[in-house]
């Protein structure tokens, strides 16, 4: 409608300018002749017509009211070197016992806009990395956000699940948050997402998230034999210190919050379940930087994989207080332990993963670089241990 008003205003201006122009043609002599008295009148008429047209165009543009839209971009890229086998990079060892390479791990385009103050829209895409070289729809969310306690999301987004899934790789504290097979061990259709409907609300120190999701999702989301049945998901989070508002979480706040949070999440489909218990503590030490501790326990009873499993991880990091150059240094260590139960065809096995980071935080999640080391061992004789080192860069705006 606003565009229509703009077009009408401009057209009306053109009609009005045409009037004086016609009158001017009646009094102007042959172009080869000079008329000292009529020429100034012609210039004056043209100037007035131009001023009227400009005023009407400005008025029409002012009538156009576009909804606020924000656009952002995120990039993660890396250099990696793997021994025996790669753990988190797209490298593939085909001959010898090592491989090196550069990877464009991820590119994301973020688009957010308000239809009204309460109705909002999110559309995000993900370039899935150098290995596949494809772009897919990551988020497509209709957001009905009325107040802190009543919010409804519909479309494709992260279902209620563990903290690690709800902060994703761009807001994780470490560079390889999903290498251990414990974090984010939930079914999904794309980048941890699924298609569905969810309610969420903040009630003081309590956050509630509940939803129902497709479950089929192109046949690659769950281990359930009948994927036509819905996946039901829920999460409860308690913030004992500072509050984390909104639907998503962070893996760290780099000392901006004093946080003590505990979360319980579960998903179920056709009596198959996955659940997790996770916690995050972050404390800013006066003049001494910030310390962060994160832990999770996850158990899958046939929802994400036909092989039942359980596992846990613990992570600790320390952010130095001194600004060196344009950023601060951070040290991080993580250990995980996961057990896959025995089946009729395979024995049980134990997967252990170590991760060490040395990071340089320039502007929190908008600009950071780091070096990482991964070591993963499986107690199956046919699965030798793997080692990977690399350098990571993340930019986001």
Distance CA 263, CA 196 (A): 22
Task: Please report where in the chains the tokens 């025995």 appear, as a residue.
Answer: 342
Q: Which two tokens stand for residue 167?
A: 């902060």
pLDDT above 70 covers a percentage of the chain that reads 81
Distance CA 269, CA 228 (A): 10
Residue 34 pLDDT grade (very low, low, confident, very high; cuts 50, 70, 90): very low
Residue 57 pLDDT grade (very low, low, confident, very high; cuts 50, 70, 90): low
SS (H, E, C) 6-58: HHHHHHHHHHHHHHHHHHHHHHCCCCCCCCCCHHHHHHHHHHHHHHHHHHHHH
Strands (E), the chain: 69-83, 98-114, 119-127, 135-145, 151-157, 194-203, 206-213, 231-239, 259-269, 272-285, 289-301, 309-319, 328-340, 349-363, 367-378, 386-396
Q: What is the widest separation between alpha-carbon atoms in the chain?
A: 106
Q: DSSP letters of 166-213? A: HHTTTS-SSS-TTTTSSTT-S--SBTTBEEEEEEEEEETTEEEEEEEE
Distance CA 114, CA 125 (A): 18
Q: Which two tokens stand for residue 132?
A: 């596949």
More confident residue, 60 or 292: 292
Residue 52 pLDDT grade (very low, low, confident, very high; cuts 50, 70, 90): low
The mean pLDDT value for 252-259 works out to: 96
Confidence (pLDDT) at 55: 58
- Does the pLDDT value for residue 291 go beyond 70? yes
Region of poorest pLDDT, from 17-31, 279-293, 345-359: 17-31
Residue 320 Cα distances to 99, 212, 260, 315, angstroms: 33, 42, 20, 17
- Does the pLDDT value for residue 254 go beyond 50? yes
Residues 125 and 71: beta-carbon distance below 8 Å: no
Confidence (pLDDT) at 85: 86
Give the pLDDT confidence of 338-351 residue by residue, as tens digits. 999 988 777 888 89
Residue 77 Cα distances to 28, 116, 210, 256, 397, angstroms: 69, 37, 34, 26, 15
Residues 182 and 335: beta-carbon distance below 8 Å: no
More confident residue, 375 or 34: 375
- Does the pLDDT value for residue 24 go beyond 70? no
The mean pLDDT value for 324-341 works out to: 97
Residue 97 pLDDT grade (very low, low, confident, very high; cuts 50, 70, 90): confident
More confident residue, 33 or 87: 87
Confidence (pLDDT) at 58: 59
For helices 2-27 and 38-63, angle between their N-to-C axes, nearest 10 degrees:
180
Residue 378, beta-bridge partner list: 351
Residue 28 pLDDT grade (very low, low, confident, very high; cuts 50, 70, 90): very low
């Amino acid at each position: 409608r606003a565009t229509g008003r703009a077009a009408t205003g401009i057209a009306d201006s053109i009609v009005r300018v045409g009037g004086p122009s016609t009158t001017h043609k009646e009094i102007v002599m042959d172009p080869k002749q000079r008329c000292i008295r009529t020429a100034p009148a012609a210039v004056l008429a043209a100037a007035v017509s131009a001023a009227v047209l400009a005023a009407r165009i400005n008025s029409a543009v002012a009538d156009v009211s576009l909804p606020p839209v924000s656009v952002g971009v995120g990039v993660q890229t890396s250099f990696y070197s793997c021994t025996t086998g790669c753990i988190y990079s797209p490298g593939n060892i085909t001959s010898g016992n090592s491989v090196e390479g550069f990877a464009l791990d991820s590119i994301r385009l973020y688009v957010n806009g308000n239809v009204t103050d309460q109705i909002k829209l999110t559309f995000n895409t993900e370039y899935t990395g150098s290995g596949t070289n494809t772009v897919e729809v990551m988020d497509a969310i209709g957001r009905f956000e009325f107040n802190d306690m009543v919010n409804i999301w519909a479309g494709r987004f992260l279902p209620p699940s563990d903290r690690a899934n709800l902060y994703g790789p761009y807001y994780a504290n470490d560079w390889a948050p999903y290498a251990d097979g414990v974090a984010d061990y939930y079914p999904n259709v794309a980048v941890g997402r699924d298609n569905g409907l969810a309610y969420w609300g903040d009630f003081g120190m309590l956050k509630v998230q509940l939803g129902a999701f497709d479950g089929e999702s192109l046949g690659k989301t769950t281990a359930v034999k009948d994927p036509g049945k819905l996946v039901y998901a829920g999460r409860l989070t308690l913030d004992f210190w500072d509050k984390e508002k909104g639907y998503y979480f962070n893996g760290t706040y780099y000392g901006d919050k004093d946080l003590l949070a505990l979360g319980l999440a579960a998903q179920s489909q056709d009596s198959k379940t996955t659940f997790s218990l996770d916690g995050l503590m972050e404390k800013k030490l006066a003049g001494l930087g910030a310390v962060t501790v994160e832990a999770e326990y996850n158990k899958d009873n046939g929802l994400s994989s036909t092989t039942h499993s359980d596992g846990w991880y613990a992570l600790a990091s320390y952010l130095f207080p001194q600004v060196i150059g344009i950023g601060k240094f951070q040290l991080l260590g993580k250990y995980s332990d996961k057990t896959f139960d025995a089946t009729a065809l395979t024995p049980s096995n134990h997967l252990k993963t170590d991760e060490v980071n040395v990071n340089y935080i320039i502007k929190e999640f908008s600009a950071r670089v780091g070096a990482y080391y991964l070591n993963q061992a499986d107690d199956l004789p046919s699965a030798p241990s793997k080692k990977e080192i690399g350098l990571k860069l993340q930019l986001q705006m």
